[in-house]
């Protein structure tokens, strides 16, 4: 299944974007749970246009620069909505290079393992701080100071961002807790 196809359709369901704009979105909110490179996005855009799921208009910027502005078609909306309501099986596994290294930790010295854990912990803590800052910036968009105990409006345009962001925060909190708990194994 071409999941990138649905990510692009979903973005264009919101508003018109250029290929550059779509690539930028993968570095922002969507980057918390899905990644795509420039080299993947543009071929997918061409396929979606060929399939009649998108169309584009050419916009002139400055005197010579042309860019394509993409919009979703009715057929694209139908396909996106059909995909969105279909049940998703659990993935077989999520790739995590650090966990693969943990599986083979017996190949490392105690000091090397401790250094590896410290580095991972530092990275995860930095990511958690970034996510929590993003969360604090999102709260005023909902017009509230805190979300705990308050029902979110289902129709709010940023509800999806809120859900994805809170899941990313929980994931990083769990990872930090696990790292902190097991770091003692490598202290002499």
Neighbours of 99 (CB within 10 A): 11
At 136, phi and psi to the nearest 5? -65, -35
* DSSP tag of 61: E
- Nearest Cα to 18, choosing from 48, 47, 57, 75? 57
pLDDT value of position 62: 77
Boundaries of every domain in the chain: 3-85, 97-186
Q: Are 7 and 41 in contact (CB under 8 A)?
A: no
Beta bridge partners of 132: none
As its CATH architecture, domain 3-85 has Orthogonal Bundle (1.10)
What's the confidence (pLDDT) of residue 16? Answer: 95
Q: What pLDDT, on a 0 to 100 scale, did the predictor assign at position 134?
A: 87
Summarize pLDDT for 18-38 with one digit per residue, the tens: 999 999 988 887 877 888 888
Query: Residue 146: its pLDDT value, please?
Result: 54
* Residues of the chain below pLDDT 70: 1, 142-153, 156, 188
Q: In the chain, count of helices (H) and strands (E)?
A: 7, 3
What pLDDT score does 143 carry? 64
E strands, 39-138, in order:
54-61, 65-72
Q: What is the pLDDT, as a whole number, of residue 151?
A: 52
């Amino acid at each position: 299944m071409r999941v990138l196809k649905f990510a692009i359709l979903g973005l264009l369901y919101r508003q018109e974007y250029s290929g550059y704009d779509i690539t930028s979105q993968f570095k922002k909110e969507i980057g918390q749970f899905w990644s795509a490179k420039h080299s993947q996005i543009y071929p997918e855009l061409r396929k979606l246009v060929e399939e009649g799921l998108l169309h584009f208009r050419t916009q002139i910027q400055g005197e010579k620069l042309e860019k394509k502005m993409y919009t979703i078609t009715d057929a694209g909306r139908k396909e996106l909505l059909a995909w969105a309501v279909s049940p998703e099986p659990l993935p077989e596994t999520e790739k995590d290079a650090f966990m693969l290294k943990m599986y083979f930790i017996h190949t490392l010295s105690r000091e090397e393992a401790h250094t590896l854990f410290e580095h991972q912990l530092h990275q995860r803590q930095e990511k958690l701080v970034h996510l929590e800052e993003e969360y604090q910036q999102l709260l005023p968009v909902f017009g509230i100071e805190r979300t705990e105990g308050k029902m979110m409006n289902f129709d709010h345009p940023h509800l999806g961002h809120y859900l994805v962001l809170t899941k990313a925060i929980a994931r990083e909190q769990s990872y930090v807790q696990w790292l902190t708990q097991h770091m003692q194994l490598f202290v002499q």
